[in-house]
Amino acid sequence: MEDHQFDPESDSLSFPDDSVVGILDDPEGASSAVDALLAAGVPRDGIQVLCCDSGARRLDPSGERHGVLGQLQRIIQHFGDKEIGHVQRQAAELQAGKFLIAAPAEDDEESRRVADILKANGGHFINRYTSWTVEQLEE
């Protein structure tokens, strides 16, 4: 897989506002999805790819890896919305050897375009995250 903004040891990945996140099962699908996102005009520095245990550690579902503030963020998510369940599921998928791809999508049209690209390349559990909502686009 070509280098596509994959940095498993950098700081944690919280769900960026205005993004679409999906799971892909294999490196070929993940690589094809990233290539298709780039071809569709998504900026390279906006695409994040995580995999394996290192990706799950970066998601840090408990917040423990990132101290008191990280733990506080996860506690708030438990009370505020279903995002924490998403983080836990995504971490489990990463630990099973799958790939997570996150790409920016500021409006409905961009969200649908990114989701369609991920789905066309084998993506599932595709969700849109905004400041105030989590929208499931594909199970």
Number of domains the chain is built from? 1
pLDDT band at residue 16 using 50, 70 and 90 as cut-offs: low
Instruction: Summarize the confidence of residues 96-104 as an average pLDDT.
Output: 96
Q: Which residues constitute the domain of residue 76?
A: 19-138
Q: Would 7 be classed as within a structural domain? A: no
Tell me the residue length of the chain: 139
Q: What is the reported pTM?
A: 0.77
Is residue 9 domain-resident?
no
Residue 64: inside a domain, yes or no? yes
Within-domain flag for 2? no
Q: Is the pLDDT of residue 46 over 50?
A: yes
